[in-house]
Amino acid sequence: MKRFKNILVVFNSNTDNRALLFHAVDLAQRNQASLKVIDVIEETPSILPKPGLQKPAGEVQPPTINIIEELISIPPVSTSSESLNEEWKTKDDTTEKLVIDIQEYIMQEEKRNLQQFVTAIQQAGIPVRSKTFLGIPFIEIIKEVLRNQHDLVMITAEGNGSLKDIRFGNTTVHLMRKCPCPVWVIKPSQNRQFERILAAVDLDQEDKVRTALNTKIIELATSLARLGQSELLIIHAWRMVGESIIRGRGEFSTDQIEGLLRETKEARRQSLIEFLQQHPLEDLKHNVYLLKGEAGELIAELAQTKAIELIIMGTISRAGIAGLLIGNTAEKVLRKVDSSILVIKPEGFITPVKLDTM
């Protein structure tokens, strides 16, 4: 974990940030890292939209569109467009001022909440900077990462902490897909050290990018496990390509298919052993799982069965466009688990968000 020296913490006053505070302070203390806390506020839309100007006499008027807004019977109120426009003319200035006032009120309230969070960090003896932005949250967060070369983003997961209620909202999903540095999404209820950590590796000796990503995953997982004296579980899911096809044909006997499966499993076992031998585990309480099946399903199932509190896994764009898509496995895991997640990108990952993005 020593690699994280320039940490960006995303504050959200609509979530419980106590776990985020605990882990950000703990990590900064252990790494002697710098912290910056930001809060991104979405712009307030105009709440009183103006109707269109009255068309000149003689011009064809568009048909009236009746909008039903309540499931009760309300007699229509007849109001001429002329009187409506006159009424809005008198309200233009008031409307604009109201929108500005609302936005300013939200900004000031958010800044007060942010300052309370920052003060708590300062009281722990951690130097910290803070800033409030106005815009689309994930874009402003990634821009901040690009501007200041942050090496980790920490953010609270939406929800109250239960499997039914926790949600990885649009901002966190966008970050996990598009942020160039690792993103640590922390479940609100986990305001202590993690007892059990799960590291998911996807081995492919011919794929250098994936091999390097697996190395980063294990290095971070072992480091975090040592820091928190956590139990470490490592999972690698495997399948034999084409198994379902050959089982449906008569060219191969059951014994032949089972033999191929044993050979495939043994090859995966050896690859996993050789990989893990490069990363000492003797001082850690750990278990290694080599499971046959679909990775997303197995990771989620193991996480639930073993009450995993943190999953560390990588994402790789599979659509040929860097930064466009999170890996299918990660998507499936995100929908099913009740754990904090640390998502890591491969070296050379390029975000689609640019500093000049509007």
In this prediction, residue 57 has a pLDDT band, given cuts at 50, 70 and 90, of: low
pTM for this entry: 0.79
Q: Which pLDDT score, from 0 to 100, does residue 39 have?
A: 95
Reported as a single tens digit per residue, the pLDDT across 148-199 is 999 999 999 875 444 444 446 788 888 888 899 999 999 888 878 899 999 9
Q: Which pLDDT score, from 0 to 100, does residue 173 have?
A: 83
**Domain that residue 7 falls in:** 1-46+89-192
Three-state SS sequence of 305-342: HCCCCEEEEECCCCCCCCCCCCCHHHHHHHHHCCCEEE
Q: How far apart are CA 18 and CA 340, in angstroms?
A: 14
Please tell me the total count of domains within the chain.
Answer: 2
Same domain, 23 and 137: yes
SS3 353: coil
Residues 6 or more apart in contact with residue 163 via CB below 8 angstroms: 304, 337, 338
Same domain, 112 and 238: no
Least confident span in 17-31, 56-70, 207-221: 56-70
Q: How far apart are CA 138 and CA 129, in angstroms?
A: 19
Reported as a single tens digit per residue, the pLDDT across 327-351 is 567 667 877 888 899 999 888 888 9
Look over the chain and give the mean of its residue pLDDT values, rounded to a whole number. Answer: 82
Same domain, 180 and 202: no
- Tell me which residue of 49, 51, 58 sits closest to 80, measured CA to CA: 51
Reported as a single tens digit per residue, the pLDDT across 77-92 is 555 555 555 554 555 5
Same domain, 206 and 344: yes
Structure tokens at 11: 């504050």
Same domain, 154 and 250: no
Q: How far apart are CA 353 and CA 358, in angstroms?
A: 10
Q: What is the distance, to the nearest Å, from the Cα of residue 343 to the centroid of all Cα atoms in its chain?
A: 8
Reported as a single tens digit per residue, the pLDDT across 306-317 is 999 999 998 875
Same domain, 185 and 244: no
Three-state SS sequence of 142-177: HHHHHHHCCCEEEEECECCCCCCCCECCHHHHHHHH
Q: How far apart are CA 320 and CA 80, in angstroms?
A: 56
214 falls within a domain: yes
Alpha helices in 7-136 (DSSP H): 18-31, 81-123
Same domain, 228 and 279: yes
- Tell me which residue of 147, 145, 132 sits closest to 323, measured CA to CA: 145
Range ranked top by mean pLDDT from 27-31, 47-51, 142-146, 337-341: 142-146
Q: Is the pLDDT of residue 252 over 50?
A: yes
Q: Which residue, of 151, 166, 192, is where some domain finishes?
A: 192
Q: Is the pLDDT of residue 204 over 50?
A: yes
In this prediction, residue 283 has a pLDDT band, given cuts at 50, 70 and 90, of: very high
Q: What is the distance, to the nearest Å, from the Cα of residue 233 to the centroid of all Cα atoms in its chain?
A: 22
210 or 115, higher pLDDT: 115
